[in-house]
Structure 1
Amino acid sequence: MGNKAAFSQAAQPATTQEIVLYPPKIGVVTFQNSSDPTSGAACVAPRATTYFNRRAELSSDVIWISEASEGVNAQNFRSPSYLRSSPKQIADDLGVNLSDSVEGLPRVAETVGRVRDIAAHSYPWTDFSTDWSHATLAASIAKILPGTGEIISSMESPLRQAHQSYSSVPDQRYPDGTAQTIYTLRANRLRYAQYICSTAVPTNAWISVPDVSRHSFKIDDFLDPGSPSLVEASIEFHTGLQEAVTPALAAFGSSRPMGRTPLRKWICQQELAWLVEHATVHITSAFMSHGSEPLSERHALPTALTADPVYALSIAAGLVAESHWVGLSNTTSVRRAGNSATAKFVEVASPMAVWLRAADRAYGFAMAKIVAERGFLVRGYGYGSVSFFGPKNEIGRIIELAEELGTCHPCLAAMEKRMMIGSEVNGMEG
């Protein structure tokens, strides 16, 4: 009788207050063939790498990030851009080789696991199963943060046009006749996120100026930081010898390497400030805000990321910080009623998103100018990074450039070491 009572007491289910809901684990997958993602290697820290022949063999309670951009449609698989930086980029930052399933893949998985832990403790998640169901961590963070207020309908299109994310320099291809590769130099993610999040953004009190020519406005009136402006303008870049490369570097409206992008006629004050140094800007109409303000406490970076300067040394903390500001600066999809009974979704950019993106674009353009002045061919810039073509076997020049730009990723020393080992092996084979 006593044993039965004891069993009955032990078998009582826990109350909901006693059940702890943990965030899903995040792992990394490398496929043998990324165009046919079926078999490969997978790792979830702190476990060792496992190998699989079919994706169905992988655990269903793990969010798997892979290098495969297509064909991975299971609910728990994510694209390489889930953390904005791909597993390959994270491996380069760590100075390891992602294809090394013994040392490289576990190191990347360990970093990704720390991203999960930091993100889980930095935000007020309510239900991990839905909160973490989005395509990117940035989208998940954006959903959990408060909104930025209503946008008046007359400003929707101007703000959308003024919002430019990554800047792709048009008509850039691999240089002919030389052994070139693509380098991407990136600022410290956490410090860069702090820089972007220090941008003052407009208040939501705006006045419209439909016809600038009917008023006595000067260009400086639209550059007053105390009165943020959004202007409709045409741009004529200077054509002097020293400015010959600037129109391409500015990549105005060119946010994709290939294909068409929406026509841009609107510019925010942050972008206007550097464009006027390289072009003649003709302003036809404008919106002007009554003032600007820092990001609110609820939109600022979590103190879990900023409490100690040493956190900037953590790649995992940097990845969370990057996802934070990218989430704030992305457009959102809003349901709109159409002419018929069918509603449609349109992309909407908030003033905050436009201003943060413009701050990033201004920083990237300054980096790109330095890279071009050093004789390299720039491909694009954004997210605190610049990509360019450079010689394969001259890492020393790239390291010098990285020091000049103040960038710290990727780990160029590890790249140089691998190249030296490769050349030694080739020499021995010869």
Structure 2
Amino acid sequence: METTDLRVGIALYANAHPDDQAGNWACEFNKEPFPFMSASDLPAQTLWITNCQFGDLKQFGLSLNPKIADEGYFRTRIKQLITELGLSNLSPDKQASLLVSIVGNTLTMIKHQLNLVHIPANSLAQAVGQLFGVREAAPRSTLLQVSELACQRYTQCERERRLEKVEIFPLWFHRFDWAHEILGQPLPTSEDLSLIPQSSLPRSGQDAALLVDWAKENNLPLFAKIRINALESTVGRLLNYGAGASSIRGETASGSGYESRNMREWCALPELSVLAGAGEIEILEVAVANGWMRSPVSLLAHKASTVSYSYGLVAENLWVGLTRRHNDFRQSRTLTTAWIQALDRMRCLLAAEKLIEHGMDIANYGYGRITVVCPQSVRSSIPQIARELGLLYPASLEGIAPLPSIKDDPFSIMQTLLASRDYASFAKVDQIILSNLQSSKS
């Protein structure tokens, strides 16, 4: 379903399952919340974003319903939004009301910024992919094969220990800043790929670190087929499903073992750069894209956009949208996608290493987010650790004293608004952005 005006709502099932019939609440943008029993009770001309997983919607025949969307519509799942904003202790009607005000503003912003006539039915990133997604190479081509093998969205991690009395929660990079960093970098084009003979590489490609330096010095959009023979223990666990290894084993400093597994063989230069500094990497083949491109999308250059939670979701979907196909909502298999994902995951990995040093364990990472397993002994230090690493922590963490806000620092202001659950200030900032977008078109 595509709608010509913004008719969107949040539908919260009591237990996040479409089989729930009691305790469900929904709220349409700019309207009042109401209880509902099933999807048939929801108005047909509104796109309802639910807190249900796609698989559950599919099981109940709702995945093809044009008015129903799953929890991942905004890339950041509805459950994640509730955690970040600290809404879990509110009644479901208030949750629905606050959520729809935020995501309604998000959709209004991106409609104005991208001149969208319709709101996408499957995901917000879909709209970006339809407009700016890079076309995939021909089936069975070497270019498509390398692109597909180099792509990886996120990483599930090998956990060395099982801690007791822990909390599991996300930490995430400031969405505007992270999107600004990715969208501001040159990205490889996905039109052609040239294999480089080993004899043309420094030391015939036998030194991965030297190869990385050579590629950076010559500004090459390089991809490499690799075999991981050994990794530093922490990186080995964090790259449990990282590039290059079908199966490698090693020992941590404490003597416990880890295993790194992945059937992929190719990786982009940003990932190779990290791997080359963390272990013994064998270079099997090297290829270079035929050039660079600039991101076709950019962020709204307004001070308010850096402290808007709603625009942060816009920013996230702009860069994620570049990894989507132009003709559907699935991930594209292109060199551009692989490069963007490598930039994202390696930045997360480096932060995850620091979090481990602070006593946390890592469950997974990717899309600018790290899910941590935090023992009670570390809990009180979260604000300081997060600030040092440029990560935000969720408002759902009770009893933690926030650090003093830093004037004119968007990251600090965003964290202060989250920690204080100042939803009114978020709404005011959103109105500034919306006014700016509307005036720029008049």
TM-score band (shorter)?
Answer: 0.7 to 0.9
Query: Residue 91 of structure 2 corresponds to which residue in structure 1?
Result: 100
Query: Equivalences for 1:163-242 in 2 at 5 Å?
Result: 163-170=151-158, 175=162, 178-203=164-189, 204=191, 206-209=193-196, 211=198, 216-218=203-205, 219=208, 220-223=210-213, 224-225=215-216, 226-238=219-231
Question: TM-score under structure 2 normalisation?
Answer: 0.74
- Kindly indicate whether the alpha-carbon contact (under 8 Å) linking 1:332 and 1:347 is maintained by their aligned counterparts in 2: no
1:311 is paired with a residue whose SS is helix
Query: Residue 13 of structure 2 corresponds to which residue in structure 1?
Result: 31
Separation in structure 2 between the aligned mates of residue 366 and residue 87 of structure 1, nearest angstrom: 27
Assess, with a 3 A threshold, how the Cα gap between structure 1 residues 217 and 98 changes in structure 2: closer, same or farther: farther
Query: Residue 245 of structure 1 corresponds to which residue in structure 2?
Result: 234
Assess, with a 3 A threshold, how the Cα gap between structure 1 residues 186 and 210 changes in structure 2: closer, same or farther: same
2:367 is equivalent to residue 383 of structure 1: yes
- Kindly indicate whether the alpha-carbon contact (under 8 Å) linking 1:161 and 1:265 is maintained by their aligned counterparts in 2: yes
Match for 1:318: what amino acid?
G
- Kindly indicate whether the alpha-carbon contact (under 8 Å) linking 1:193 and 1:325 is maintained by their aligned counterparts in 2: yes
Match for residue 145 of structure 1 among 132, 135, 139: 132
Match for 2:321: what amino acid?
G
Separation in structure 1 between the aligned mates of residue 51 and residue 71 of structure 2, nearest angstrom: 5
Separation in structure 1 between the aligned mates of residue 25 and residue 233 of structure 2, nearest angstrom: 48
2:262 is equivalent to residue 276 of structure 1: no
Separation in structure 1 between the aligned mates of residue 166 and residue 300 of structure 2, nearest angstrom: 39
- Mean alpha-carbon deviation: is it higher for 213-222 or for 371-380? 213-222
2:91 is paired with a residue whose SS is coil
Q: Deviations over 1:285-306 (max 9, x none)?
A: 11123543432xxx222xxx42
Match for 1:372: what amino acid?
I
Assess, with a 3 A threshold, how the Cα gap between structure 1 residues 172 and 312 changes in structure 2: closer, same or farther: farther
The alpha carbon displacement at 1:199 in A equals 2.3
Query: Residue 45 of structure 1 corresponds to which residue in structure 2?
Result: 29
Separation in structure 1 between the aligned mates of residue 69 and residue 281 of structure 2, nearest angstrom: 42
Query: Residue 419 of structure 2 corresponds to which residue in structure 1?
Result: none
Separation in structure 1 between the aligned mates of residue 305 and residue 42 of structure 2, nearest angstrom: 33
Query: Residue 104 of structure 2 corresponds to which residue in structure 1?
Result: 113
The alpha carbon displacement at 1:51 in A equals 0.6
Indicate the RMSD between aligned Cα atoms, in angstroms.
3.0
Separation in structure 2 between the aligned mates of residue 93 and residue 347 of structure 1, nearest angstrom: 25
2:283 is equivalent to residue 289 of structure 1: no
Query: Residue 144 of structure 2 corresponds to which residue in structure 1?
Result: 156
- Kindly indicate whether the alpha-carbon contact (under 8 Å) linking 1:187 and 1:409 is maintained by their aligned counterparts in 2: no
Assess, with a 3 A threshold, how the Cα gap between structure 1 residues 139 and 415 changes in structure 2: closer, same or farther: farther
Q: Deviations over 1:115-152 (max 9, x none)?
A: 111121121335x2xx612x211122201226457569
The alpha carbon displacement at 1:65 in A equals 1.4
Query: Equivalences for 1:124-135 in 2 at 5 Å?
Result: 124-126=115-117, 128=118, 132-133=120-121, 135=122
Separation in structure 1 between the aligned mates of residue 102 and residue 263 of structure 2, nearest angstrom: 40
Separation in structure 2 between the aligned mates of residue 90 and residue 278 of structure 1, nearest angstrom: 34
Unmatched runs of 5 consecutive residues or more in structure 2:
245-259, 402-442
- Kindly indicate whether the alpha-carbon contact (under 8 Å) linking 1:46 and 1:110 is maintained by their aligned counterparts in 2: yes
- Kindly indicate whether the alpha-carbon contact (under 8 Å) linking 1:212 and 1:286 is maintained by their aligned counterparts in 2: no
The alpha carbon displacement at 1:158 in A equals 1.3
Structure whose CA Rg is larger: 1
Unmatched runs of 5 consecutive residues or more in structure 1:
1-20, 335-345, 418-430
- Mean alpha-carbon deviation: is it higher for 348-357 or for 29-38? 29-38
The alpha carbon displacement at 1:49 in A equals 1.4
Assess, with a 3 A threshold, how the Cα gap between structure 1 residues 294 and 77 changes in structure 2: closer, same or farther: same
- Kindly indicate whether the alpha-carbon contact (under 8 Å) linking 1:28 and 1:42 is maintained by their aligned counterparts in 2: yes
Match for residue 136 of structure 1 among 112, 116, 123: 123
Separation in structure 1 between the aligned mates of residue 183 and residue 386 of structure 2, nearest angstrom: 23
1:80 is paired with a residue whose SS is coil
Query: Residue 314 of structure 2 corresponds to which residue in structure 1?
Result: 320
The alpha carbon displacement at 1:314 in A equals 0.8
2:297 is equivalent to residue 300 of structure 1: yes
The alpha carbon displacement at 1:413 in A equals 6.0
- Mean alpha-carbon deviation: is it higher for 115-124 or for 271-280? 115-124
How many residues matched?
A: 366
- Kindly indicate whether the alpha-carbon contact (under 8 Å) linking 1:222 and 1:228 is maintained by their aligned counterparts in 2: no
Sequence identity (%):
21
Match for 1:376: what amino acid?
M
Query: Residue 10 of structure 1 corresponds to which residue in structure 2?
Result: none
Assess, with a 3 A threshold, how the Cα gap between structure 1 residues 86 and 146 changes in structure 2: closer, same or farther: closer
2:312 is paired with a residue whose SS is helix
Assess, with a 3 A threshold, how the Cα gap between structure 1 residues 230 and 94 changes in structure 2: closer, same or farther: same
- Kindly indicate whether the alpha-carbon contact (under 8 Å) linking 1:95 and 1:415 is maintained by their aligned counterparts in 2: no
1:68 is paired with a residue whose SS is coil
Query: Residue 81 of structure 1 corresponds to which residue in structure 2?
Result: 72
- Kindly indicate whether the alpha-carbon contact (under 8 Å) linking 2:133 and 2:326 is maintained by their aligned counterparts in 1: no
- Kindly indicate whether the alpha-carbon contact (under 8 Å) linking 2:306 and 2:312 is maintained by their aligned counterparts in 1: yes
Assess, with a 3 A threshold, how the Cα gap between structure 1 residues 121 and 98 changes in structure 2: closer, same or farther: farther
The alpha carbon displacement at 1:309 in A equals 2.8
Separation in structure 1 between the aligned mates of residue 376 and residue 66 of structure 2, nearest angstrom: 39
Assess, with a 3 A threshold, how the Cα gap between structure 1 residues 281 and 383 changes in structure 2: closer, same or farther: same
- Kindly indicate whether the alpha-carbon contact (under 8 Å) linking 2:6 and 2:108 is maintained by their aligned counterparts in 1: no
- Kindly indicate whether the alpha-carbon contact (under 8 Å) linking 1:91 and 1:98 is maintained by their aligned counterparts in 2: no
